[in-house]
Amino acid sequence: MGGLSIWHWLIVLLIVLLVFGTKKLKNIGSDLGGAVKNFKEAMKDENAKLPEPGKTAQTGQTYDAEVKDKQQS
């Protein structure tokens, strides 16, 4: 009972290719790659929006709000 050898992985790969076909596997791979790329771009955009640590963003806007006490029930 050891790890799987290269022959086991080749047989698994062959079965996957027979079941799904190369075209469907190519589509899945490109969809997954696109999703990862979009995720990375979104993370870069979010990081660009954040102010640098130690500096405060001065927008010149004033917010008027009322704070109410929360009561525990």
Q: Is the pLDDT of residue 73 over 90?
A: no
The pTM for the full model equals 0.45
Asked if residues 27 and 35 have their Cβ atoms less than 8 Å apart, the reply is no
**Tens-place pLDDT, residues 30-64:** 999 999 999 999 888 877 776 665 555 566 667 67
> Which H or E element spans position 30?
helix 22-49
Domain boundaries, the chain: 22-50
